């Protein structure tokens, strides 16, 4: 399998929830999945 790292990164960042998680981590530092989950109205499995 051939990976295109920059393209894979942009595909991952196209998801608004993933971008929001990155913003939370950038402002708060290291957090557990359960702490991140508290910010969203999705299942814990979707966050982890």
Could you read off the pLDDT of 1-34 as tens digits, one per residue?
A: 666 788 888 888 888 988 999 999 999 999 998 8
Token pair in block for residue 27: 């402002």
Q: How many angstroms separate the CA atoms of 11 and 5, rounded?
A: 10
**pLDDT on residue 23:** 94
**pLDDT on residue 43:** 83
Q: Who contacts 19 (Cβ-Cβ below 8 Å, separation ≥6)?
A: 13
Helices (H) then strands (E): counts for the chain: 4, 0
pTM of this structure: 0.70
**pLDDT on residue 1:** 60
Report the largest interatomic distance among the alpha carbons of the chain, rounded to a whole angstrom: 36
Q: Where are the domains of the chain?
A: 5-47
Q: Who contacts 23 (Cβ-Cβ below 8 Å, separation ≥6)?
A: none
């Amino acid at each position: 399998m051939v990976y295109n790292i920059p393209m894979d990164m942009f595909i991952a960042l196209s998801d608004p929830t993933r971008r929001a998680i990155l913003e939370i981590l950038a402002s708060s530092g290291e957090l557990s999945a359960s702490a991140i989950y508290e910010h969203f109205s999705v299942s814990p499995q979707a966050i982890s």
